[in-house]
Amino acid sequence: MKKALKVINDLEKNGIIESYALGGATALLFYTEPSLTFDVDIFVFLPSGADSKKLIDLSPLYVALASKGYRAEKEHVLIEGIPFQFIPVYNALIEEAVLQADTKEYEDTKVKVIKIEYLLAIMVDTNRPKDQERVGKLFGEVKFGKKLLSTILQRHGLQKRWEKLIEKK
C-alpha cells in the first residue's frame, strides 16, 4: 500500500491530478477497525481547463499510470496489486470533503484522507444499505465532531436523513 500511495502522490506532484483524498472504507481505516472492501476509492480533482459540459476524460490519468506499468481493469487501476478507483469530484459535498481532507501518515508516507465527519455525511448522502449499516456502527464507536457534522449535514440538506438513520439505531 505504501508504494501505491507514493504513486498517487506523484500523480498530484506531476499535475496529472490537482488534488485527491482517500474515501470509502479505506479512509475509515484511519478512524476505526477495518471494513470489508474490494478497492481503494480516490476522489480526485482533475486539472483545470476541462469543459464541465463535456464528458469527464480520465485518459490522461490512465495513460500516466500505464506508462509506469499499471493497468486498468474495468473501473479500477491496479497499482502495486491494489485496485484503485479514481472518482472525479461530482458534487458539492465531495468537493468540500476533498478540499478539507486531513493529511495523515501511512508507514511514513503522507496521504490525504477525508475527515470522518465528511465520510459520515457522504454515507448519508449515498444512502446505500451498507452505508446505512456503517453509519449506525460508527455512530457508537468513533469520536467525531458533532458540531462539524451537523454543519455539513445542514449545508448539504442531509440533516433529516441523518436523523432518520440515527433513530433506527
Give the pLDDT confidence of 105-121 residue by residue, as tens digits.
Answer: 999 999 999 999 999 99
**Average pLDDT of span 16-28:** 93
Beta bridge partners of 44: 20, 88
If one compares 50 and 13, the residue with the highest pLDDT of the two is: 13
Residues carrying CATH 3.30.460, the chain: 2-114
pLDDT score recorded for residue 142: 86
pLDDT score recorded for residue 96: 97
d(CA 83, CA 75): 9
In 10 A of CB 145, how many CB atoms?
Answer: 12
Closest C-alpha to 123, from 149, 89, 146, 88: 149
Task: Specify the CATH number of the domain 2-114.
Answer: 3.30.460
- 119-135 pLDDT, tens digit per residue, is 999 999 998 988 888 88
121 close to 93: Cβ distance less than 8 angstroms: yes
pTM of the model: 0.90
d(CA 116, CA 113): 9
- 26-82 pLDDT, tens digit per residue, is 999 899 876 667 899 999 998 875 555 567 888 899 999 999 999 999 889 999 999
